[in-house]
Structure 1
Amino acid sequence: MKIAVMGAGAVGCYYGGMLARAGHAVVLVGRPAHVAAVRRDGLRLETLHFDEHVRLEASTETAAVEGAELVLFCVKSTDTESAGETMRPHLPAGALVLTLQNGVDNATRLQAVLPQEVAATVVYVATEMAGPGHVKHHGRGELVIAPSSRSEEMAALLAAAGVPTQVSDNVVGALWAKLILNCAYNALSAITQLPYGRLSQGEGVQATMRDVVHECLAVAAAAGVTVPGDTWQAVQRIAETMPTQYSSTAQDLARGKRSEIDHLNGYVLRQGAALGVATPANRVLHTLVKLLEGKQAAA
């Protein structure tokens, strides 16, 4: 199957690399330095279980998605609509687009600009770009996909490639569960530039995270969303299963890039305001990250 990865960062490269390793025709759409390295040497896929160079296609042009039956849509939440617009002319009508992104509303936003089916997807993986053409995997890797006409087919394809995948009727709840994890860790990791394991042991961190989780759950409940599982246990498990991982927000700030904080703690802040739920802990974390972004932009 031809599979395209739109936005070949750490998440897209990990899953694209796994699919290419399983024999699929994968094309990565990414930045010039990364594309040049992949074309020259293949994608270095360094996981907990193997370290290999995987051969696959790479391009800086969105037109490279032409003919793809499956698209892993991995752009930043801030770029969802614009990336969807540029991709639209090149996709066949029967393609399925999976939104492997942070935040809870990307699938809805993308479906508004694409005629192809879009299925919201929850990603549980710890990865980083260790350099151009080199993705490093720190742990986990499972996906949860919303139902669509081809979700079961694609879930089986992903599972056969070594990516545990399930289709769920409550992906909105699962997206909120992931959002809450991000709200608990991302800003704190970004502000301190600490990985999850060290961060979680800091003075006052557990209490702060509990405040964030409590606010997020209150907003979700007000929105009529059922968040599955034991949320606090899931928060604690992140530090245990991904102790060396820095949040995507931390990685963005370290590189001087704009983060997705408006779609994480900022989203909870806006939803809370609309629903009459106070979110002071999320407000403080959102404000601090925005200040750091502004400081970098002015430097």
Structure 2
Amino acid sequence: MQIAIMGAGAVGCYYGALLARAGHSITLIGRSAHVEAISRSGLILETTAGCETFDVMASQNVAALKDAELVLFCVKSSDTETAGALMAPMLAGSAVVLSLQNGVDNAERLSAIVRREVIPVVVYAAVTMAGPGHVRHHGRGELALGASPMSESLVPLFQQANIGASFAEDVTAMLWAKLVINCAWNAVSAITQQPYGALMAVGGMREVVTAVVRECQRVAQASAVTLPDDIERATLTIADSMAGQRSSTAQDLARARPSEIEHLNGFIVRQAKVHGIETPINHTLLVLVRALEQGAPSCGHSLP
């Protein structure tokens, strides 16, 4: 299958590599440094088993996805509308679009731009870019696809590429559950530039994380979203299962890039206001990350 990755960052490169290994034709749309490295030396996937290199197409030009049958949309949430507008006129009429993004409303926002169904996908993968064209896998890698006539046919495609994929009956609840975990950890990791395990060793951190989760639970309930009963426990166990990892927000700030904080804690704060709910911890984390972004030497948005 002809598959394009719109936004060839860590997530896009990881799944692009696995799909290339399975024999699919992959085109990555990304920043110049990644495109140049991939065009020169191939896409490098590093796992605990070692490094593999894949011969894939890479381009900075969105027109490169014009023949794609499947598009994995992996840009940052803050760039959804801009990237979607660039992509829309290039899409083949029959192309299927999946949103593999953080946050809960990207598929809906993107659908309004490209004027077709966009399938929301929950991503459970710990991956980072080790360098241009070099993606490093730290753990997991499952996907949960939202309801769509196409989802049931796409699940086997991912599974045949050794990607743990499933059909999600309630993808909204799953997206919210991931959002809660991100709200609890991403900002504190970004502010301190510390990994999750080290943060949990700090006196009082458990209480901070728990307070964030409980604020999110109140907002979810007011938004008619049912979170898993064990969401608090699941959030706290991240400190063990991903002890050595820093959040994507921490990585963004370290590289002086804009983060997705407005679509994480910021989303909770905005939804809370709609329902007249106070979320002081989420609000504080949001403002602190905003302050750090404004103090960074270069935080202009870039695509994809």
Q: 1:210 to 1:106 in 2, by over 3 A?
A: same
Partner Cα distance (2:70, 2:233) in 1: 33
Bigger shift: 10-19 or 191-200?
A: 191-200
Residue 202 (structure 2) aligns with: 202
Partner Cα distance (2:274, 2:210) in 1: 22
Residue 273 (structure 1) aligns with: 273
Counterpart of 1:112 in 2: which secondary structure? helix
Consecutive unaligned residues of structure 2, counting only runs of 5 or more, are: 300-304
Partner Cα distance (1:21, 1:204) in 2: 45
Partner Cα distance (1:192, 1:57) in 2: 37
1:143-179 per-residue CA deviation (whole Å, 9 max, x = no partner) reads 1111112111111101111110111121000000000
Q: Is the 1:185–1:196 contact (alpha carbons within 8 Å) kept by the matching residues of 2?
A: yes
Q: Is the 1:95–1:116 contact (alpha carbons within 8 Å) kept by the matching residues of 2?
A: no
Give the counterpart letter for 1:78 in structure 2. S
1:247-293 per-residue CA deviation (whole Å, 9 max, x = no partner) reads 11001100001111000001100100111111011011001101111
Q: Is the 1:9–1:30 contact (alpha carbons within 8 Å) kept by the matching residues of 2?
A: yes
Partner Cα distance (1:49, 1:148) in 2: 35
Residue 93 (structure 1) aligns with: 93
> What is the number of equivalent residue pairs in this alignment?
299
1:202-243 per-residue CA deviation (whole Å, 9 max, x = no partner) reads 221110000000000110000001113510121123222222
Consecutive unaligned residues of structure 1, counting only runs of 5 or more, are: none
1:218-229 residue pairs with structure 2 within 5 A? Answer: 218-229=218-229
* Percent of paired sites with the same residue: 53
Residue 21 (structure 2) aligns with: 21
Counterpart of 1:8 in 2: which secondary structure? coil
Q: Does 1:158 align with 2:161?
A: no
Residue 183 (structure 2) aligns with: 183
Q: Output the TM-score relative to the length of structure 2.
A: 0.95
Partner Cα distance (1:152, 1:242) in 2: 30
Q: Output the TM-score relative to the length of structure 1.
A: 0.97
1:123-158 per-residue CA deviation (whole Å, 9 max, x = no partner) reads 111111110010001111111111112111111101
Partner Cα distance (2:217, 2:247) in 1: 21
Give the counterpart letter for 1:272 in structure 2. A
Q: Is the 2:209–2:236 contact (alpha carbons within 8 Å) kept by the matching residues of 1?
A: no
Partner Cα distance (1:229, 1:8) in 2: 35
